[in-house]
Structure 1
Amino acid sequence: MIGLERLGVWITKNPVIIIAVAVLLTLVSVHYAQQIESTGMTTESFVSKDSSLYQLYDHLYQENFGADGNIILIEGDNVAKADALSASLRLSDHTKMIPNVISVQSIADIVADAEYQSSGIRRIPSQERIDEILADAGSSVQGLMPDSRHTRMIVGMPTTATLTESQRGELLAEISSAVDFAEFPAGYSTTVTGDPSFQAAIQEVMNNSNGSVLLLCGLLMIVALLLVFRHVRWPLLPLPIVLLGIIWTVGAMGFFHIPMGMVTFAAFPIMIGLGIDYAIQFHNRIDEELIKGKSSVEAAISTVNHVAIPVAIAVTVTEAGFIALLSSTVPSINDFGKVCMIGLVMCYLSALFVNTTVLYLSERKSPRKKKAEGHSEDGSAIGAFIENVANFCVGRWKAVLAVALILALAGNYADTMVPIETDTKNYIPQDLSPLIDLNHMKAFFGGTDSLKFLVQADDVTDPHNLRWMDDFSNYLLTSREDRTESVTSIATYVKEAGGGEIPDDRTQIREIIASLPEAVQDTYLSGHNLAIVDVNIGDAQTNLGTEGMARLIKSYEDDLAWMTPPPGVSVRITGQAVLMATVMDALISGRVEMSLLGLVLIFILLLAIYRDLIKALLPVLPMLVVIGWMGLVMYYGGLKYTPLTATLGALILGVGSEYAILMMERFYEELHNVGDPYEALKITANRIGSALVASGAAVIFGFAALMSSPFNIISNFGLVTVLSIVFALITTFTVFVVLMIRMEIHREVVENAKQELKKAIALINDQSRRRINGN
């Protein structure tokens, strides 16, 4: 193409401009990279802020009741002894003075507050008086001290949306310092746990592990390139080229405010693998042209002319596969798709301009004196092997297609039975000490999963409204006793203070509420028009799974429909458990939809580019086979889908179709040169086979590094993707070449038939004209 030849000429004439622009873009990227925010497994990572579900959760629940509860677990022979309570009170009072601490609940506060009401002095009294106070406290003690050896202090603190990461870290550090200040007696132990500490630990481990995973990724790719790309000069050059594209991508993340989380981090090995593929394609072709004896200028121009468009088409088609991820309702999946899409463009630009320029300059400065060892115009040993595999499959094309189809159909069926990992705590290292501490605390206090019923009314403290809340709580405890561990609301405390009955007098009710600890009021009541009914469901998310949680939530909604609130009272269900159940449901249903959308987008795009039905179908069909095969692997391998592996279909379509497109483009280039499909296939498999194997090996080795991650969600993704790329390469050299050669032969047969038909029609017409003229 004349335009591409001009681009090649421009690249060879302007290397200084290209290098200068690359350096400038790198400096700008480093600046914006510092603005990237890190996120853990927060609610905002999984639920769109624009959804009505999140609006209810965020604006009504979080803004009015939202507070994270960090836990200080206290263990000893008798946690209600006077000396232990004195230390607990010191800890509580010191913790309350820490900036951003909202509230503190403990049995020490219950005892000291009760003593203040009776004597006017806030202190820990005698042991006899302590026992009397705790006996009268009722349910307020049960959630804080399940037995005499264990108690917990609940420290209320702002949610992740309110505090910055550094503020949150400082707050957790000061809570730990307050524990040391309290000086508990000998024989007592304290453990700081809870979701805030848990999330902070995850973030720290993730930040520490990401660097080592990427370093291992680079080392493994060096090994891959030295093994399968050593037949070219400068075989390791693709690595710095792709690193340049990654730096530009990180800068774009900061510029577009895309956060870095566990899901978005997994996009980088994809970009590294694909970016190396682009660099390898340009590198392999320019090396091939130089081996033929062309000058460095001619080789560079020819490479741009023959490779730029095929790789650009592959990039565009891969982008179409990742565009499907933007249809997901899960924000972290959206961000994953955005990072992949930006990264592919950056890596392509780096491969086209910087890679070609460096190769051109290096060859011009140090031209090769003779053919490198192992080089020949017949291709490499790997290329010869790929040629033999292709010929073998073409010769047995019926058996190849039959086996591929049977396995694909069986895999698509098996895929419907692959479970989804619903417990986000299983995404992280199971030996993480904060997780062990959290599970240790749950062993005594039960699970912390809960559903929240938001109650809105002109006056939720009206006796009729409080009685309904009490009746509804009792109904849930009896009708859902297998899952409902406790139900607590402001009505619980009013009823307890009223001697087991809710008073009829509204003024008396408000006096009772005013006498309650401020922490209780803030937890269950916001003003007089909004309250919550807190339903503790233990570890339901872990035990029930996605479908079980959805059924449980639906059953509570049915209970609400059965026990309708009084007129003028609105009650809606919310909570993090509800949000996560919706997310997992979106992953289950959206996974298939994303794959189908990616399939349709790629097919339409290829049809628009080639205006040829065969060329549009060829890259897509083998990827359907790969998706089916992966279904078998997932099912029989006992693997589960996660938010990352849910993108598998779109990933396979995007990555796998690239190999097929590059193979197809070279096949039709050679077919144009030699005319015979079988000869064109032999040349194609030999010449481009080694490059595809090299790029595939780099991707495989890169994703293998993910398997070393301590985070199960990432290591699982690495394993699944390695298998997907292996299958994509296998189908490219087997199923795809069979489909390509058979379709092209069919096209030739059809074209020949058309030509024969035209000749026959022309002959008939000619004979008819002769008869007419003869008459």
Structure 2
Amino acid sequence: MKITNRAERLGRWIEANPIVILTAALLFTLASIHYAQTITMETETETFVDPDSRLYVEFAHLYNDRFGTQSIVVLVEGDSVTSPASLKAMERLTRQMETVEDVLGTVSIAELVMEVEASETGVRRVPESQGRIDEILAGLEGTNPEVISAILPGRSHTIISIDLPSFIPQERIDAVLPVARAAVKMAEFPAGADTIVTGEVALGDEIEREMNTSMGTLLLISGLLMVVALLLVFRHVNLPLLPLPIVFLGIIWTFGTMGFLQVPLTMVSMAAFPILIGLGIDYAIQFQNRIEEEFKKGGSISTAAIDTVTHTAPAVLIALIITGAGFFSLFSSSVPMVRDFGLLCLIGIIMCYLSSVFVGVTIIQQMERGRNDRDHRTGASRKEKASPIGPLVVKAVELVISRWRAILTAATVFAVVGLYADTQVPIETDMNEFIPQDLPPLSQFRHLHDIFGGEDQLNIIVQGDVVDPESLRWMDEFGDYVVESREKVYGARSLATVIKGYNGGVIPQERSEVVAVLDQIPEAVKFQYVDGHDTAQIILEIGDAFNNLGQVGIERLGEEVDRDLIWFGPPSGVSVTQTGEMAVMNTVIGALTTGRIRMTLLGLVLIFIILMLIYRDLVKAVLPVLPMFIVIGWMGGVMYISGMKYNPMTATLGALILGVGSEYAILTMERFYEEKEKTENVMEALFKATGSIGAAIIASGLTTVFGFSALIASPFPMTSSFGTITVLSVIFALFATFTVFPVLLIRLEYWRRTQREMMAKASSFLIMPFRRLKD
């Protein structure tokens, strides 16, 4: 009653203050446009790993700040990649790039050839004779086979690696890319030596550009599809397209709030906006549908607006809270971009609710009032429109109620089987599968991968006196031991490997000799293996691990290496830590594997607790949860049968189903109990409720489906598959709302009535002896 009284006071205030509301909305919109321009886009490690975690600290400060690099790779291929003209072009390219800010160094076959030439002739140059070049390369293949095979696997392909530190801002890394492309052109490679600028930086730059482009495209497609949906199923009201600008106003406010709160945009959260359009438009539809319904009963539009806010605002608010609880469960994820997705969805549904209850109701009220005034002056009569959807929904509900045993049995069996099948759904572990497969930089990156093989690696950071000969011998022996004992480790490189390569294949006996050799090694060669004299790196090469081993295999291999580090421990005073990009991504994938189940269960518990606090009624608390639990089972079965995989976005599926589906159930339940207060016949109340609200729920459900369908058009496979799954989820949620939910509602109401009758009989039985004694 208190909630109803407060909602009525709110309705009267909204009805009396249209100018204040519209002025405030305009100012908030202008502020939102300003702050929206401050939104940043993140694709870096911080979106995968919590910056406060030990994993991130070790990765960022032990590995990334000291050894982490991103590379612009120039692939040179053809018949003359080792010709004097090609090597001279490489030398011109590397000399220019080494003067560019933030470039750590370059690695190329030309640099290695010139170093040998300088050591033997005293002149650092590219030899003019092809025979001399072949002689030097043959010698290098004998003394430094690992280095040579890494950049010259054959005589028709080689790479030039332009290395940049990973810890500098992404915009500075991106700024080097056009300089590198220009330098490749200016280097003038000869005919027979074709060049392709590829690598991590080139691929990342194209991904970010595609993300920016696809965002606007998705919003446009989503809007157009919703226009179609509204014209199809919301024609029974005046201004059927009004919910669309109302929800887009909420989206603008969401952008502004994101910028104000400094919530970043990630590969996952960019898909939230079509989702928010689908969810937010439901609020606008519910308010507009109810105000039309109240107005048709007679009376003024002002009374209709007040009654709408009085009855609909609390029901939609409860639905919003429950939807928010589903998204709040995402905060339990250890993956920051999943938490950002949840926060963005929370902000978005709040903004869309505010735009609907204040701006939407105000605009409808003012436009209908103006229309009534015109009709009164011209003598025109208002034409009533009736939706054919309501009667069809009632017939469907009558049918399922008559076959309630079969409905519940089938729904439960499919849900249980689906929940088991969901545990067998695999996880997508190849991050390249998350991006558009037709991107030219991705094709070039895979071409590079096909030629030079997989480059996955495990990274071990060694801390202590790493230039001590004992430490170097341990690095060398440990690398040999792991390669020999672990068949999935194909090679080991370390500071010891480099020292041996520049010291005739042996490690010096004295520390001073090690330092002398180290001083002679070019920075471009040694920076990846040593930082000062107290930190070094061992690189274990594991090839194309994600494809060959899978997430479970990589995790097991990492655990085996950790055990090897304990058994084959370093010298006294030296510590070791396994970290690197593979450790980070392996942890993220593991979190997505286990975290999605925890998030779903947390969402279910939160929704149940909130409903108990709101209603203080077990039946009302259980009713919206059960159908969505069933839908989650259905979707697990669909994903297994269709061969879909979980990724960072589809891992949020359970929370999304809880958020979207429970809203339909709550709105139907609220209307049922509102009608039940007018009659003792529960079936009559059910048919009246579903007939009245059915059209609005179908309209909002289809607009949500159409909005989510825009995600299917995304060039990002991760987003596209998420769109497919969410469309199916909403369809299942709608289906459950008008099949499983009515059956549960009636059966639980009958159960409640039976319990009351039994309690009444028990009370009467207990009281009867006392009455007899009194008589």
Structure-2-length-normalised TM-score: 0.96
Letter in 2 for 1:91: L
State the partner residue of 1:773: none
After superposition, give the CA deviation of every residue in 1:696-733 in whole Å (9 maximum; x if it has no partner): 00110011110011100000000000010011111111
After superposition, give the CA deviation of every residue in 1:16-68 in whole Å (9 maximum; x if it has no partner): 0000000011111111111111123x222111111101110101111111221
State the partner residue of 1:357: 362
State the partner residue of 1:215: 220
Q: 1:319 aligns with which of 315, 318, 324?
A: 324
Quote the offset at 1:143 in angstroms.
Answer: 1.4
Farther-moved stretch of structure 1 (109-118 vs 723-732): 109-118
- SS state at 2:673 partner: helix
Q: 2:258 aligns with which of 232, 237, 253?
A: 253
Quote the offset at 1:470 in angstroms.
Answer: 0.7
Q: 2:449 aligns with which of 427, 442, 453?
A: 442
Show the 5 A alignment for 1:400-439: 400-439=407-446
After superposition, give the CA deviation of every residue in 1:398-430 in whole Å (9 maximum; x if it has no partner): 111111110010000000000010111001122
State the partner residue of 1:92: 94
- SS state at 2:738 partner: helix
Q: 2:744 aligns with which of 736, 739, 743?
A: 739
Letter in 1 for 2:472: L
State the partner residue of 1:717: 722
Q: 1:39 aligns with which of 42, 54, 58?
A: 42
Q: 1:64 aligns with which of 49, 52, 66?
A: 66
Letter in 2 for 1:601: L
Unmatched 5+ residue regions in structure 2?
A: none
Letter in 2 for 1:82: P
Quote the offset at 1:477 in angstroms.
Answer: 1.9
Letter in 2 for 1:162: I
State the partner residue of 2:671: 666
Distance 1:613 1:560 in 2: 55
Quote the offset at 1:532 in angstroms.
Answer: 0.2
Quote the offset at 1:642 in angstroms.
Answer: 0.5
Quote the offset at 1:760 in angstroms.
Answer: 4.4
Distance 2:627 2:743 in 1: 10
> Do residues 116 (structure 1) and 123 (structure 2) align?
no
- SS state at 1:152 partner: strand
Quote the offset at 1:170 in angstroms.
Answer: 2.4
State the partner residue of 1:125: 127
Unmatched 5+ residue regions in structure 1?
A: 771-775
- SS state at 1:523 partner: coil
- SS state at 1:366 partner: helix
Distance 2:451 2:762 in 1: 85
Farther-moved stretch of structure 1 (556-565 vs 421-430): 556-565
Letter in 2 for 1:115: E
Distance 1:256 1:544 in 2: 41
After superposition, give the CA deviation of every residue in 1:727-747 in whole Å (9 maximum; x if it has no partner): 111111111111111111221
Quote the offset at 1:304 in angstroms.
Answer: 0.4
Q: 2:200 aligns with which of 195, 204, 216?
A: 195
State the partner residue of 1:83: 85
Letter in 1 for 2:429: T
Distance 2:586 2:20 in 1: 53
- SS state at 1:571 partner: strand
Contact 1:421 1:545 in 2 (8 A): no
Show the 5 A alignment for 1:255-294: 255-294=260-299
State the partner residue of 1:535: 540
Letter in 2 for 1:296: I
> Do residues 463 (structure 1) and 469 (structure 2) align?
yes
Distance 2:494 2:170 in 1: 31
- SS state at 1:249 partner: helix
Quote the offset at 1:209 in angstroms.
Answer: 1.6
Distance 1:472 1:307 in 2: 69
- SS state at 1:747 partner: helix
Give aligned-pair identity as a percent: 49
Runs of 4+ in 1 over 6 A off after TM superposition: none
Distance 1:300 1:275 in 2: 20
Quote the offset at 1:99 in angstroms.
Answer: 2.1
Contact 1:67 1:158 in 2 (8 A): yes
Show the 5 A alignment for 1:559-578: 559-578=564-583
State the partner residue of 2:479: 473
State the partner residue of 2:628: 623
Q: 2:732 aligns with which of 709, 727, 734?
A: 727
State the partner residue of 2:50: 48
State the partner residue of 2:383: 372
Contact 1:320 1:654 in 2 (8 A): yes
Contact 1:393 1:734 in 2 (8 A): yes
Distance 2:169 2:314 in 1: 48
Contact 2:174 2:201 in 1 (8 A): no
State the partner residue of 2:25: 22
Aligned length: 761
State the partner residue of 2:168: 162
State the partner residue of 2:511: 506
Letter in 2 for 1:696: G
Q: 2:11 aligns with which of 8, 25, 34?
A: 8
Give the direction of change, closer, same or farther, for the CA distance of 1:651–1:229 in structure 2 (3 Å limit): same
Cα RMSD (Å) = 1.4
Structure-1-length-normalised TM-score: 0.96
Contact 1:291 1:371 in 2 (8 A): no
> Do residues 548 (structure 1) and 550 (structure 2) align?
no
Q: 2:697 aligns with which of 692, 695, 698?
A: 692
Distance 1:666 1:393 in 2: 19
